[in-house]
Amino acid sequence: MTYKAIVIGASTGGFYALKRLITALPDGLDFPILVVQHISPNSDNFMAKYLNGISKLTVKEADEKEPILPGNVYIAPPNYHMLVEEDFTIGLSTEEKIRYARPSIDVLFESAVFAYGAQLIGIVLTGANNDGAHGLSAIKKAGGLTIAQLPSEAEADMMPQSAIDLAKPHHILPIDGIAKLLTELNTNQKK
Amino acid sequence: MNSGIDDTNQTINIEIDLILDAIFQKYGYDFRNYSRAHVKRRLLHRLSSSHFKSISQMQHEVLHDPMFFQEILKDLSINVTEMFRDPKFYLALRQEVIPLLKTYPFIKVWHAGCSTGEEVYSFAIVLKEEGLYDRVQIYATDFNRNVLETAKKGIYPINRIKEFTANYQQAGGKQSFSDYYMADYNSVIFDQSLKKNIVFAEHNLVTDSVFAEVNIIICRNVLIYFNRDLQNKVFSLFTESLINGGFLCLGSKETIQFSNNAPQYDILNPHEKLYKKRIV
Ligand SMILES: C[S@@+](CC[C@H](N)C(=O)[O-])C[C@H]1O[C@@H](n2cnc3c(N)ncnc32)[C@H](O)[C@@H]1O
């Protein structure tokens, strides 16, 4: 299986988890990464700028209609849902919060399934709610690869645990393990 | 290979094309160039909370039951809004646009896609505090009749006031926000004198044309739902409607940058998406 994209959802403790994961990834990544991190509606794009400065990948806050390109990391803007269009561009929406969240992890994951089908990798990281569980299970049903952060390692274990309970993901791993797996997949895919 | 999802998806996409065609032919509302991911999400959401088995079944219903069409219209027109949404935007309007508007003897304002009116009353308050209200004519339009009814009343649930007040203060509000409304048990009604110079009217950005020449257009969080072609079309409509030197104000994630009309504008504030039509 070759993969076309990675989607990641994170909430409480996510900033640190994402920092560890994204900085552990090599440059020249063969797929784009789309990230929903739950964040307060009026925050600026500090996280994208910061991660961009310290990682080998290009990290940016997503703009509406921008083409989704390999090697880039797109962070959902505060107060907008982020969707993947089937022509592989970014869609944004202000529809109501889903399970108290905007951006919502489920909204990103479910739209990514339509765009990428089975060629999608979904990852649920730390968080104190159950966003992402439905989305991860949609990815699994479509034949994509599913990963949850090891709950005992997560700063907040509820989100990865809910995802594990509902989606029964292929892998349950600490951040280091996730980074290693993604790096391997990337190397194999490039051969 | 897992072709199951791709096959289902192909069927859904055909069904969506067909239902949007049916809606356009029957009711004249054209969603064919709206963001597909958004339309699909909303239709599937409606489907999952209904007894229908497919979007095709919904299509049958929408053609035969105008009430059901109203439900679909509600699904497809996201009406979520708030007063002084993005307070920094209103602060920028106050500091960078108002001083320039003050140079005109009479000012026409167009809120396009005003939803339930919160944005309109917010800007009306700014105009009042800046001493401009008595020289303005405000057009507030949306293509959804139901939201306009709410907008005309200017009555909102009281549980939203805390958020609105915080926004107002961050937006550079000069008074106490409670000066502008009266509260009862579960709702607040906004100062009726704010309405004096506002006309609420139905207008569809996709199918209707220019109706006035205006000094400023505020159109926020509407264009994100349109594809690039449709955005271009609407930007042309806006450019035609604006006087030379008029202002175009978009949502925080919207930009005119990629449109054919971009060369006709100067950027006043790149963060708050404030543009000024060139004088040529
Ligand atoms: C998310 S609301 C934005 C409300 C407000 N401007 C704000 O930013 O808070 C989008 C609005 O655009 C309206 N809309 C969508 N398509 C439209 C069209 N073709 N013509 C006019 N209004 C439209 C919807 O009915 C909805 O009220």
Per-residue pLDDT at A40:
85
B74 in contact with chain A, both atoms CB, cutoff 8 A: no
* pLDDT tens digits, one per residue of B175-225: 999 999 999 989 999 999 999 999 999 999 999 999 999 999 999 999 999
* pLDDT tens digits, one per residue of B218-263: 999 999 999 999 999 999 999 999 999 999 999 999 999 989 999 9
* pLDDT tens digits, one per residue of A139-183: 999 999 999 999 999 999 999 999 999 999 999 999 999 999 999
Q: Which secondary structure element, helix H or strand E, spans residue A34, and what is its range?
A: strand A33-37
Contact between B211 and B17 under an 8 Å Cβ cutoff? The reply is no
The CATH code of domain A5-190 reads 3.40.50.180
| Residue contact B258–A77, C-beta within 8 A | no
Fold of B87-277: Rossmann fold (3.40.50)
* CA B130 to each of CA B100, B136, B211, B218, B244: distance values in angstroms, whole numbers, following the listed order: 12, 12, 27, 18, 23
**Is ipTM beyond 0.85?**
yes
A143 in contact with chain B, both atoms CB, cutoff 8 A: yes
Residue pointed to by tokens 């900033």: A15
Contact between B111 and B139 under an 8 Å Cβ cutoff? The reply is yes
B79 CB near ligand 1 (under 6 Å): yes
Contacts of B225 in chain A (CB under 8 A): 93
Contact between A123 and A159 under an 8 Å Cβ cutoff? The reply is no
* CB interface of A with B, residues 105-124, below 8 Å: 107, 110-111, 113-115, 117-118
Contact between A160 and A167 under an 8 Å Cβ cutoff? The reply is no
CB neighbourhood size of A90 (10 A): 24
CB neighbourhood size of B39 (10 A): 19
| Residue contact A111–B78, C-beta within 8 A | no
| Residue contact A93–B1, C-beta within 8 A | no
For chain A, give every domain's residue range: 5-190
Contacts of B224 in chain A (CB under 8 A): 64, 80, 91-94
Per-residue pLDDT at B3:
64
How do beta strands A72-75 and A33-37 pair?
parallel
For chain B, give every domain's residue range: 2-76, 87-277
HSE, CB side, 13 Å, CA atoms: give it for residue B76. Answer: 24
First to last CA, chain A: 13
Contacts of A143 in chain B (CB under 8 A): 2, 4-5
Percentage of residues of chain B with pLDDT beyond 70: 99
Per-residue pLDDT at B190:
97
Phi, psi for A27 (deg, rounded to 5): -75, 170
Contact between B200 and B110 under an 8 Å Cβ cutoff? The reply is no
Two tokens at A46?
């500090």
Q: Which residues of chain A, if any, have pLDDT below 50?
A: none
Average pLDDT, integer, range B48-59: 97
Task: Classify residue A92 by burial, with Cβ atoms within 10 Å: 0-12, 13-18, 19+.
Answer: buried
What is the rounded (10 degree) CA torsion for B198, B130, B254, B83?
-60
Per-residue pLDDT at A28:
86
Asked if pLDDT for residue B1 goes beyond 70, the answer is: no
